[in-house]
Structure 1
Amino acid sequence: MTSKVISIVLGGGQGSRLSPLTATRSKPAVPIAGKYRLVDIPISNCLHAGITRIYVLTQFNSASLNKHIKNTYHFSSFSDAFVDILAAEQTPSNATWYQGTADAVRQSLHHLAIHEFEYVLILSGDQLYQMDFEEMIHQHIDSGAEISIATIPVDAADVPGFGILKTDENNMVTAFIEKPKKDFESWASDVSDEMKAEGRVYLASMGIYIFNRKLLYDLLEGNDRTDFGKEIIPQSISEHKVASYQYEGYWTDIGTIPSFFEANLGLTDNIPKFNLFGENHIFTRARMLPPSKISGTLLEHSIIADGCIINAKQITHSLIGIRTRIGVDTIIENCYVMGCDSYQTLDQIAELKLSNSPIMGIGDRCEIRNAIIDKNTYIGNDVKINMGETLPDGDFETHTVQDGIVVVKKRAIIPNGTVI
């Protein structure tokens, strides 16, 4: 049945809430878990479900995303499988950027028209989860729905951050309200006993939709509605058969720096909520990197990606990305170090050390806590980051601070002895 499905991954807008990680890359291209990109999550979920025709829609800073897609997702010449980028483009009929989620899909319909399909699966590019889309598609077909919405039970504290759906005994959506702030007690829906025990009785839209092909074209063509969550879905409930697909696994929207930081460090737990080690693994670019080399380092609740050279004193509750170099006597605590795109040669390292300049990576005798270190940074010796009182929020030349988390910007150079 998944052979009748085409998937569209929405790359999101400018990604300002994830700044500065999105200063030079689109949101789906942001590195996660030390070796993957955000876009790998929805694509991997699709591939595990047998959905092999996937478009990724993007318009901001798409160069690194294009490169990642090109270098990662290769299929047989005898297959109709593909993962293609659709960047926003000016055409004789439309001279504007994407104005919202629905408008992005509307402007891409002519690319879909060349394919045979019956259903369109629409996904977000900035969420962390593992879902069986095949099961969702079967429920969509069996229920006779024209639209299906993936929903997740949330508690009262989370309700104001979501679009909330009300369902009947057949899991059909009867009403929708966008981010209610109060008086939403009557919006509770029927959920499992486990969810009831946790107080999670409100069904929140996950921004994951299945549309029947004909209905999608009818809803988008010839009008100016720009957003699925705010316009298309609420206006469709009274006129079309809209089903809820209730999901109770791990899911998080990682569109902000705190949520991104928490989601990544959560992977270092003894039994993480998001399972990197199961059979539904994440597909990503296959790099021919050497194994990591670690000398004299105390490691605790940490993940070390491929190709690292680590001489640190201690790394605790941290995630160390590919090709990271960390010097002697350095302490890393509660950090996500994204790593590097290439290695420096021994001659380059010797030349930088001779001029007392930082080499790529993290130097000797550093102490770094509660930080995200973006790719290809140069952190010198004896640098201290976030080791004192909680820092006020702000944006600076080499770093930003959000909610007590220091984000060192991509390619930033932090001189020897710097204290942040």
Structure 2
Amino acid sequence: MTSKVISIVLGGGQGSRLAPLTQTRSKPAVPIAGKYRLVDIPISNCLHSNINRIFVLTQFNSASLNKHIKNTYHFSTFSTAFVDILAAEQTPTSAGWFQGTADAVRQSLHHLAVHEFDYVLILSGDQLYQMDFEEMIQQHVESKADISIATIPVHERDVPGFGILKTDAENNITAFIEKPKTGFEEWVSEVSPEMKEKGRLYLASMGIYIFNRKLLYELLESNDQTDFGKEIIPQSIQGHKVVSYQYEGYWTDIGTIPSFFEANLGLTDDIPEFNLFDKNHIYTRARMLPPTKVSGTHLEKSIIADGCIINASLINRSIVGIRTRIGLYTSIENCYIMGSDNYQTLEEIAAAKEAGVPAMGIGDRCTIKNAIIDKNTYIGDDVKINCNKKLPDGDYPTYTVVDGIVIIKKRAVIPSGTVI
């Protein structure tokens, strides 16, 4: 069945709520868990579900995402599998940027037309979850659905942040409302006993859709509507068979700095809700990095990626990304350090020391708490970050503060002795 499916991963818009992490990269290109990119999640879910024809639609700050996909997803010469980038482009029939999720797919339909397929699986590029799409596709076919929407039961307090669906006894979606603020009671749907026990009685759209090919072309070519969630889906419910595929596993929409931060630190739990150590592992770029070297460091509930040189005294509930260098007597707590794209040579480190400027990485005797350290940063000795009272939100040349989380910007230089 999956041989009849083509998948489209939406690269997202400007990602302003994830700034400054999206200042120079798109949301799907943001590094997670020290060695992956967000886009690796939907692509890996597809590959584990035997869906291996995948388009990634990109627009904003797409260079690093394009490079990652080019360097990562290679298939046999004799295979029909591919992960291809479709960037927003000017054509004789379309001169503008993608105006929304539906418009992005509409402008890309001519690229799909050369392939044989019956179903289109549409995914978001900025969510963290593990799902077997084969089961969803099977239900779609068996129920003779025109459109299937993956839904997840949520608590009443979460309802205002989602598109909420109402279903009947056969999982047919009978109504849809976008982010309601009041009157939740009438939107209660039938959920499993386990979800009822947790008070998760409302079905939220996960932004994961299956369309029959013919219907998708009809819907997108017959009007100029730009968004699936706000326009296409609600208006399709009355005239077409739209079915809910209920998912009850871990899923989070990484749209804000706090949600991104908690999703990453949650990976350090003894048994994390999102399990990196599962048979359905996450695919990413294969790097020929040396193993990590740790000296004199007390590690507690932390994830350390490849190629690091660590001399810190303490690393607690933190993720340390690839090629990270951390100096002597440094303490790291509740942090996500993204790492570096390259190593400095011994000569370059010595030259930096002689010039009195920080080397790449984190220096000696630093104390860093509740922070995200973006890639390729230069943090000197005796630096203290987020060690006292909660900082007010604000954006500064080398760092940003969001909800008490300090984000050190990509390539920022933090001189020795700095206190943030």
How many Å separate the matches in 1 of 2:354 and 2:182? Answer: 63
Task: State yes or no: 1:290 paired with 2:295.
Answer: no
Displacement of 1:223: 1.1
How many Å separate the matches in 2 of 1:256 and 1:96? Answer: 27
Give TM-score scaled by structure 1 length.
1.00
Following superposition of structure 1 onto structure 2, how do residues 163-182 of structure 1 map, counting pairs within 5 Å?
163-182=163-182
Task: State yes or no: 1:404 paired with 2:404.
Answer: yes
Task: State yes or no: 1:41 paired with 2:41.
Answer: yes
- Aligned partner of 1:6 in structure 2 is 6
Following superposition of structure 1 onto structure 2, how do residues 181-200 of structure 1 map, counting pairs within 5 Å?
181-200=181-200
> For each residue in 1:206-227, what CA deviation from the matched residue of structure 2 results, as whole angstroms up to 9, or x when unmatched?
0000000000000000311000
Q: Partner letter of residue 234 of structure 2?
A: P
- Aligned partner of 1:247 in structure 2 is 247
- Aligned partner of 1:388 in structure 2 is 388
SS in 2 for 1:333: strand
How many Å separate the matches in 2 of 1:419 and 1:352? Answer: 21
Give TM-score scaled by structure 2 length.
1.00
Following superposition of structure 1 onto structure 2, how do residues 32-181 of structure 1 map, counting pairs within 5 Å?
32-181=32-181
How many Å separate the matches in 2 of 1:217 and 1:12? Answer: 21
Displacement of 1:127: 0.2
Q: Partner letter of residue 314 of structure 1?
A: L
- Aligned partner of 1:345 in structure 2 is 345
Displacement of 1:355: 1.2
Displacement of 1:74: 0.2
How many Å separate the matches in 2 of 1:119 and 1:406? Answer: 43
Displacement of 1:184: 1.3
- Aligned partner of 1:335 in structure 2 is 335
How many Å separate the matches in 2 of 1:285 and 1:359? Answer: 26
- Aligned partner of 2:25 in structure 1 is 25
SS in 2 for 1:158: helix
How many Å separate the matches in 1 of 2:28 and 2:179? Answer: 25
> For each residue in 1:337-370, what CA deviation from the matched residue of structure 2 results, as whole angstroms up to 9, or x when unmatched?
0000000000000000111110000000000000
Unaligned runs of 5+ in 1: none
How many Å separate the matches in 1 of 2:309 and 2:166? Answer: 53
Unaligned runs of 5+ in 2: none
Displacement of 1:92: 1.1
Q: Partner letter of residue 304 of structure 1?
A: I
Q: Partner letter of residue 167 of structure 2?
A: T
- Aligned partner of 1:316 in structure 2 is 316
Displacement of 1:316: 0.4
Displacement of 1:132: 0.4
> For each residue in 1:115-169, what CA deviation from the matched residue of structure 2 results, as whole angstroms up to 9, or x when unmatched?
0000000000000000000000000000000000000000100000000000011
Displacement of 1:99: 0.4
Q: Which runs of 4+ in 1 moved over 3 A?
A: none
Displacement of 1:68: 0.3
- Aligned partner of 1:356 in structure 2 is 356
SS in 2 for 1:157: helix
Task: State yes or no: 1:237 paired with 2:268.
Answer: no
How many Å separate the matches in 2 of 1:66 and 1:187? Answer: 41
Task: State yes or no: 1:269 paired with 2:262.
Answer: no
Displacement of 1:400: 0.2
- Aligned partner of 2:217 in structure 1 is 217
> For each residue in 1:159-190, what CA deviation from the matched residue of structure 2 results, as whole angstroms up to 9, or x when unmatched?
00000000011001011111110111011111
Displacement of 1:233: 0.3
Q: Partner letter of residue 27 of structure 2?
A: K
> For each residue in 1:221-261, what CA deviation from the matched residue of structure 2 results, as whole angstroms up to 9, or x when unmatched?
03110000000000000000000000000000001100000
Cα RMSD of the aligned pairs, angstroms, is 0.4
How many Å separate the matches in 1 of 2:351 and 2:194? Answer: 60
Q: Partner letter of residue 399 of structure 1?
A: Y
How many Å separate the matches in 2 of 1:255 and 1:156? Answer: 20
> For each residue in 1:317-354, what CA deviation from the matched residue of structure 2 results, as whole angstroms up to 9, or x when unmatched?
00000000000000000000000000000000000011
- Aligned partner of 2:301 in structure 1 is 301
- Aligned partner of 1:257 in structure 2 is 257
How many Å separate the matches in 1 of 2:46 and 2:283? Answer: 11
Q: Percent sequence identity over matched residues?
A: 80
How many Å separate the matches in 2 of 1:343 and 1:222? Answer: 53
Displacement of 1:194: 0.3
How many Å separate the matches in 2 of 1:243 and 1:359? Answer: 55
> For each residue in 1:190-211, what CA deviation from the matched residue of structure 2 results, as whole angstroms up to 9, or x when unmatched?
1000000000010000000000
